[in-house]
Amino acid sequence: MSALIQDPDCLFCKIAAKQIPSGIVYEDDEVFAFHDIHPWAPVHFLLIPKMHIPSMAQVGAEHAALLGRMMALVPKLALEQGCNPYPQGGYRLLTNTGREGGQEVQHLHFHVMGGPRPWLRG
Ligand code: 5GP
Ligand code: ZN
């Protein structure tokens, strides 16, 4: 599977391709991060693979390196975006999967939320 596979009807594929503007947080060949349009917290960004993976339900061993690199980016990006240092600060990392998991956009994304409380949600 190529890292360049896109779904022409997918909102987050279009955001990663910059066909739809977003507040870009980070980009490399395989990964894109951008501010959530409806933030729950002072810091709220989404980390996505550029390749179209609909959700965690489609993740397999072939994605281990990609997801590992994404997870390894989270601490760096969270601090850069204004999350306070662990342990007094920190952040929430979550991914919704499927309808019962509360997933609204069908392109794998990790929410990173942080900053001083109270938050709008969560
Ligand atoms: P989900 O419920 O699928 O886990 O989260 C989807 C997230 O995408 C939501 O938090 C929502 O605010 C965000 N979102 C939806 N459409 C857009 C958009 O067009 N631009 C940006 N930046 N975020 C979006
Ligand atoms: Zn997509």
Cα distance between residue 68 and residue 83, in whole Å: 21
Question: Does 52 participate in catalysis according to the annotation?
Answer: no
**116 alpha carbon – ligand 2 mean position (Å):** 31
pTM for this entry: 0.96
pLDDT at 4: 53
Pocket test for ligand 1, best of 36, 107, 112, 113 (most atoms within 8 A of CB): 36
The dotted CATH code for 11-114 is 3.30.428.10
The per-residue pLDDT string of the chain (122 residues; one tens digit each, 9 = 90 and over) reads 444 588 999 999 999 999 999 999 999 999 999 999 999 999 999 999 999 999 999 999 999 999 999 999 999 999 999 999 999 999 999 999 999 999 999 999 999 999 999 999 98
| Boundaries of every domain in the chain | 11-114
**First and final C-alpha spacing in the chain:** 35
Q: What residues have a C-beta under 5 A from ligand 2, the ion?
A: 7, 10, 12-13, 52, 107
In which element (H, E) is residue 93 found? strand 91-94
